[in-house]
Amino acid sequence: MRKIPAYPLSVLFYLVFGILLLVFHPVQLVCHRIFGYESHRRSVVILNYLIIKSFVILGSKVRFKGFEKLPEKRPLIIVANHQSAWDIPPIVWGFRKHHVKFISKRSLARGIPSISYNLRHGGSIVIDRHNGQQAIRELLRLGQIIEKNNYSACIFPEGTRGKTGKVKKFQPGGIRTLLKAAPSALIVPFAIDGNYKLIRKGIFPLAIGCTLTYSVLDPVEPGQDDAAKLVAVVEKRIRDGLGL
């Protein structure tokens, strides 16, 4: 019976989502150009908070756990499993005190209201997946930014989304590069649980009645360990946190 209400509720959700993107695009532009970085950042945080609240239209329950484990005034490398495009709003909102920045593919940096503007002007980096040298330069630049300002960088080491909820093998390359430029960063495993259910049938209709849980797991001190070993520890914690 859920299939029938899923159609009108998905239409309503996407309508609200589209309105939020269209409204906050000029809001971001004004905040960025007139009031500067902090005002722009706050507008993005509010946008993503409202997107999360919009999940109630789909009958979803949203839970945040473990954020009390995060230290203040220290750069963070957030390492998360990747389930859908809806992973971004809870990360922006949950880590709002830590100025989270993302690593985005070039195609997302143009043509999407609000989202593309923030990627270009909010401190995230845009990489060309076909240009390894450019990607490394940008990752090093991002590492320098979070090290200097005690910001955070989010990375999805699976590389692609796990559409079934299963966690793919984590790749250490991006984390290794970030740590070179941000040696004092704390690695934070972040488990995303349930977002894949929203798109189980595709982007339309979205599933209704899902429980979406976003959990900060025990952080990992890099120390002198090799990135591959650190990533293996983080991957295990996320798998354990998801019960996989």
- pLDDT recorded at residue 239: 97
What is the pTM assigned to this prediction? 0.95
- pLDDT recorded at residue 2: 61
Specify the residue for token string 């982007």.
203
For 3-242, give the CATH class: alpha beta
- pLDDT recorded at residue 61: 97
- pLDDT recorded at residue 55: 98
Interatomic CA distance for residues 139 and 23, integer angstroms = 31
Residues belonging to the chain: 244
SS percent in the chain: helix, strand, coil, step 5: 55, 15, 30
Would you state the structure tokens that stand for residue 215, as one six-digit string?
């959990």
Intervals of the chain under pLDDT 50: 1
Query: Hey, which bits of the chain come out as E strands?
Result: 61-65, 76-80, 100-105, 125-127, 152-155, 186-193, 211-216
- pLDDT recorded at residue 99: 98
- pLDDT recorded at residue 160: 73
Q: How many CB atoms lie within 10 A of CB 125?
A: 21
Provide CB contacts within 8 A for 50, sequence distance 6+: 20
- pLDDT recorded at residue 224: 79
- pLDDT recorded at residue 229: 95
- pLDDT recorded at residue 21: 98
- Between the two ends of the chain, the Cα-to-Cα distance in Å is 29
Would you state the structure tokens that stand for residue 243, as one six-digit string?
């019960």
- pLDDT recorded at residue 135: 94
Element (H, E) at 90: helix 88-94
Q: What is the identity of the amino acid at 74?
A: R
| Contact by Cβ (8 Å): 75, 146 | yes
